[in-house]
Amino acid sequence: MADRVYIDADVLILGGGTAGCLAAWEARQVGGDDLKIVIVEKAFIRHSGSLSAGMNALNMYINQGTPEDYVSYVRYDICGAPIREDIVLSVAREVNDTVSILEAAGLPMKKKEDGRYLNRGKWNIEVNGSLLKPITASKAYEAKAEIYNRVYITELIIKDNVCVGAVGFGVRDGKFYICRGKVTLLCTGGAAGLWRPNNRRDAHHRIWYFPFNCGSSYAMCKRAGAEMTSFDMRLVPVRTKDTFSPTGTLAIGMGAPMVNALGDSFMEKDPYYLSWGGHTAPTPIRMLAFQRETLAHRSPIYMDTTRGDSAKVIGLKGQYLDMSPSIVLYWGCNDHDPSREPIELDGGDPHLVGAHAGMSGAWTRDISRETTVDRLYVSGDALGAAPSRFISGSWTCGRIAARHMVKALKDNSYQLLEINPDTLDDMENRTYGPMRRFEEKSPEGVWTDGTLSGGVSPKDMESRMQKIMDEYCGGRTHWYFVNETYLSIARKHIKRMRNDQLQYLCARDLHDLQLAWDVINRLDVCQLVIEHISFRKETRFPGYVNRTDYPETNPDYDCFINSRWDAETDEVKCFKVPYQQLVPGDRRKQSI
């Protein structure tokens, strides 16, 4: 038995990222000094999560129009598909206030001569964001939250559909952490690494999304019995080749068009793309255009910075140093001058996100951010069906979730619930299972690289999973195309890995144990993805999920695809949930 650490909280926050830090701050504002707020973070809160590399813009800010106009934009950017308009609207109404709070905390904002924020397009504002995460984390410190760094949460504790808390292990001390909360917020990010990345070997983590977000929020919600949504829609990024740096800086900030090898600005020539707005077409359509040009043998595809605003191209390196310094190093190593040469693009491996141009996550009751599991709330990328909240929207979502949590805590006089000791023993055995298997199998023999002859390493199991998803669930190998035959093969192989092969997963040490749980979580999320895509008999998100057997949209699927996992049968049961349009207007057009 491992040494145990017991933690009790009024408000338990799992994940000290974008949403978690602001949730702690807001909980203190509305809950008062006596409220015990605990944050559990698997890394170190000042430099962890998706903000760790910084960012040069906040992609959600109401520069013009109204919050309703922003909902119209989000709806349009997801190809007119159903979104949770109530959630997006609640964020849009508060996001500007949240940005002001972070500016007061020290976030350097770029401004015009008249003192207004320097906008980049309709809904973005520019920042000097290299210290974005330390500034965000400062709000958690300001809230005097009790912070536990380097604790990897593995499972939620559920009792009669009530979230009691969570358990995990210390990635440095190896202790077993048992955390109870009167209310719990889960915000541990989205999911990268399900599909095989373009770069291999030591560069396999050079992807667009944060590579250490393993889908734990989705997997833990699923295993807890929560209703999940929109895993039939993943984000497939078009990014700079090799470094996979963001391209919005080039398109919106520099005015650089996307061109093919012939120099054609195809977004402004093809009638289909023009019908969607040309170079301002929805994000999935721009990905579809990249795919079509490539498959028509008109690649490579570029962002033509030689046609952009020359004055802005000069400052391009400074822009990227705030969020993706690897591309600046790449240009330096390869003598690349973006003012003289265009920047080559590539399609990356798909990612699951809830707060960017994706919708995967847990389904929530109204705008409270409470899941269908009582006392369990989600925010950030863990919150489903409400895309395009980005950084500032995730800050705001954390604040909104915290207010609802504190209100529920007070209104219902919630108390900490007791946990059966046998339940904790079972959870501890599952948590440390891969390490204990390594110890048990070591006498059978160890290969020269330290892996067991009778076990499977996390690296090898992850590689097998990524190969399956890449080849049979719409990865880059098949240019994101998929059909039911492929999905049935993916289903068979992933089921076998989850049910038969995980018993051989071994971890040599605590670092390996983290990697083992990353694979366990990713495999659980793979099951969600396969079943959701299979259930949606249409192509609702061209460019993201291209179904060759159902290439058109079907009005029967103008809805959300939700699901619940049945622990007894290990089946994901999908079902339709109606879409409610709150903001009037054509969903395939922007209001401004």
Place of tokens 């969600």: 528
pLDDT at 210: 87
* Position 453 pLDDT exceeds 80: no
Contact 236, 482 (CB under 8 A): no
Q: List CB contacts of 426: < 8 A, sequence separation 6 or more.
A: none
Contact 76, 587 (CB under 8 A): yes
Rounded CA-CA distance 52/136 in Å is: 10
User: pLDDT digit string (tens) for 98-120?
Assistant: 999 999 999 999 999 999 999 98
| DSSP track, 430-484 | HHTHHHHHHHHHGGG-B-TTS-BTTSB-HHHHHHHHHHHHHHHTT-GGGTTEE-H
Shortest CA distance to 185 belongs to which of 366, 368, 402, 359?
402
User: pLDDT digit string (tens) for 396-432?
Assistant: 999 999 999 999 999 999 999 999 999 999 999 999 9
Q: Averaged over 188-194, what is the pLDDT?
A: 96
Q: Hey, what are 139's tokens?
A: 């709000």
* Position 452 pLDDT exceeds 80: no
Helix (H) or strand (E) holding 547: strand 546-547
Q: Domain segments of the chain: what residues?
A: 8-189+353-412, 239-347, 432-561
Rounded CA-CA distance 196/349 in Å is: 6
| DSSP track, 129-174 | ETTHHHHHHHHHHHTT-EEE-SEEEEEEEEETTEEEEEEEEETTT-
Place of tokens 């030591």: 202
Helix (H) or strand (E) holding 240: strand 238-240
Rounded CA-CA distance 124/253 in Å is: 10
Q: List CB contacts of 126: < 8 A, sequence separation 6 or more.
A: 56, 57, 109, 110, 117, 118, 119, 120, 253
In this structure, whether the domain defined by 432-561 belongs to CATH 2.60.40.10 is answered with no
Give percent above pLDDT 70 in the chain: 98
Rg value, the chain, Cα: 23
User: How many CB atoms within 10 Å of residue 554?
Assistant: 12
Helix (H) or strand (E) holding 4: strand 4-14
Helix (H) or strand (E) holding 185: strand 176-186
- Helix pair 484-496, 458-472: axis angle to 10 deg: 170
Q: List CB contacts of 557: < 8 A, sequence separation 6 or more.
A: 536, 537, 538, 540, 576
* Position 308 pLDDT exceeds 90: no
CATH number of this structure's domain 239-347: 3.90.700.10
Contact 516, 501 (CB under 8 A): no
Average pLDDT, the chain: 94
User: pLDDT digit string (tens) for 122-162?
Assistant: 999 999 988 999 999 999 999 999 999 999 999 999 999 99
At 366, is the secondary structure helix, strand, or coil? coil
Q: Provide the terminal-to-terminal Cα distance of the chain, rounded to the nearest Å.
A: 61
Q: How confident is the model at residue 189 (pLDDT cuts 50, 70, 90)?
A: very high
Asked if residue 300 has a cis previous peptide bond (ω within 30° of 0), the answer is yes
Q: 57 pairs with which residues across the strands? A: 126
Higher pLDDT, 315 or 512: 512
Q: 343 pairs with which residues across the strands? A: 303
Contact 182, 517 (CB under 8 A): no
Q: How confident is the model at residue 325 (pLDDT cuts 50, 70, 90)?
A: confident
Question: What CATH topology corresponds to 8-189+353-412?
Answer: FAD/NAD(P)-binding domain (3.50.50)
Whole-angstrom CA distances from 574 to 34, 70, 195, 279, 565 are 43, 30, 22, 35, 9
* Position 208 pLDDT exceeds 90: no
Rounded CA-CA distance 255/340 in Å is: 15
Q: List CB contacts of 492: < 8 A, sequence separation 6 or more.
A: none
Q: Which DSSP category does 57 fall into?
A: E
Q: List CB contacts of 73: < 8 A, sequence separation 6 or more.
A: 122, 123, 388, 590, 591
Q: Which DSSP category does 406 fall into?
A: H
Place of tokens 């179904």: 547
Question: Which amino acid, one-letter code, is at 350?
Answer: P
Whole-angstrom CA distances from 45 to 127, 151, 165, 358, 514 are 21, 11, 20, 25, 17
Q: Averaged over 201-212, what is the pLDDT?
A: 79
User: pLDDT digit string (tens) for 461-474?
Assistant: 999 999 999 999 99
- Low-confidence winner among 14-23, 337-346, 371-380, 408-417 (lowest mean pLDDT): 337-346
* Position 445 pLDDT exceeds 80: no
Which long-range contacts does 467-474 make (Cβ < 8 Å, 24+ apart)?
A: 467/196, 468/493, 468/494, 468/497, 468/526, 469/194, 469/195, 469/196, 469/494, 469/526, 469/529, 470/195, 470/196, 470/349, 473/195, 473/526, 473/529, 473/530, 473/533, 474/350, 474/533, 474/545, 474/546
User: How many CB atoms within 10 Å of residue 374?
Assistant: 17
Higher pLDDT, 168 or 280: 168
